[in-house]
Amino acid sequence: MKKSLTLGVVLISSIILAACGNKNSNVATNHSSSSSKVEKATSKKTDPSKRKWTYKNNIFDAGIETYKFTKTEIRDSATEGKKVLVMYCDITNNSKKEQDPSNIYMVVHAYQKTGTADKNLSVGMNAYDDDGNDPLQKYNDGLQDKLLAGKTTHAAIMFTLVNDNDVTVTFQNPEFKTIGKKVISVKGLGASTSSSSSSSSNASSASSVSSASSKAAQASTSQKSKPSTAQSSATANSQKQNQVAASSNPNQSLTDFVNEYGMSPAAYKMQHDGISEKEALDSTPRGMKSSGEIQRQNELDNQQ
């Protein structure tokens, strides 16, 4: 009898302990499952690639990268007689990998109305200063260089203007649907592309007249003792063209060339050799092109 009672107590105790163990196991399993769900939900919220792209208050949130536009101005273009719209921005890499900020040109476009169309503006390139330096070099580098994870850089995007009308800048999402617009008043920024072109033309005409008068005077006084101005000019141009053709020399830098000629090799070829922009860019080594020229070449290649 006592043995039976003892066995009964032991059996009941085992059942109770087993039930408690299962309950604790279920609680632990449920807790683990809940934690996993919370981690997944948190991961979705913090993963920048999952974020919805937006444009608001001059901030373009493109998921893995954020572009905060801080300033807009008009500058002289590398193309004579043209102006470029410069949009300065701070770019932040929100991801854990290096990113290419220049990809913004795939989803940000600028338009100006002409007499017949709403023209899609080309990517622009600013002019060099009187010393042959690029005043916006750090901003161009900020756009073209790979941006490290979690870092922020200063950059600028540029578009070549075709007139003085307002510029409408559009921002697109990954599906290339417009999610925002920014209208910029060119006249409000104090620029006039037409008057600039006219002034440049007038200045060029005046310079040509003055140069012609000077050459005529020199020819009349020293025609017999010195070679003709035309011959000297032709010789000088030939020498310059030979030097430009040798611009692939690894010992010569882009800065050296610009300091000597006041323009890049590609711009020199267009102005003095009369070739097209694409031909000039294609025939110039990559190391002798500015970041803006490289971007422009890619744009021309994509238009084919």
3-state secondary structure 34-82: HHHHHHHHHHHHHCHHHCCCEEECCEEECCCEEEEEEEEEEEEECCCCC
For residues 184-193, give the mean pLDDT.
Answer: 81
Instruction: Write out pLDDT tens, residues 217-230.
Output: 454 444 444 444 44
Instruction: Write out pLDDT tens, residues 93-135.
Output: 999 999 999 989 989 999 999 999 999 999 999 999 888 888 9
| Residue 126 phi, psi dihedral angles, 5° rounding | -80, 160
Q: How far is CA 88 from the centre of its chain?
A: 10
Beta bridge partners of 242: none
3-state secondary structure 123-141: ECCECCCCCCCCCCHHHHH
Instruction: Write out pLDDT tens, residues 139-164.
Output: 999 999 999 999 999 999 999 999 99
Task: Give this prediction's pTM.
Answer: 0.55
Beta bridge partners of 180: 171
- Judged against a pLDDT cut of 60, whether residue 80 lies above it is answered with yes
Computed over every residue of the chain, the mean pLDDT equals 75
| pLDDT given at position 296 | 80
pLDDT-derived band of residue 190, with 50, 70 and 90 as boundaries? confident
Distance, CA of 179 to CA of 56 (rounded, Å): 9
Instruction: Write out pLDDT tens, residues 258-298.
Output: 666 667 788 888 777 778 888 888 888 877 777 777 878 88
Q: DSSP labels for the chain? A: -HHHHHHHHHHHHHHHHHHHHHHHHHHHHHHHHHHHHHHHHHHHHH-GGGSPPEEETTEEE-SSEEEEEEEEEEEEBSSTT-EEEEEEEEEEE-SSS-B-GGGGGGTEEEEEE-SS-EEEPPBP-BPP-TTS--TTHHHHHHHHSPBPTT-EEEEEEEEE-SSSS-EEEEEE-TT--EEEEEEE-TGGGT--HHHHHHHHHHHHHHHHHHHHHHHHHHHHHHTTTS--HHHHHHHHHHHHHHHHHTTT-TT--HHHHHHHHSS-HHHHIIIII---HHHHHHTS-GGGS-HHHHHHHHHHHHH-
| pLDDT given at position 291 | 73
pLDDT-derived band of residue 252, with 50, 70 and 90 as boundaries? low
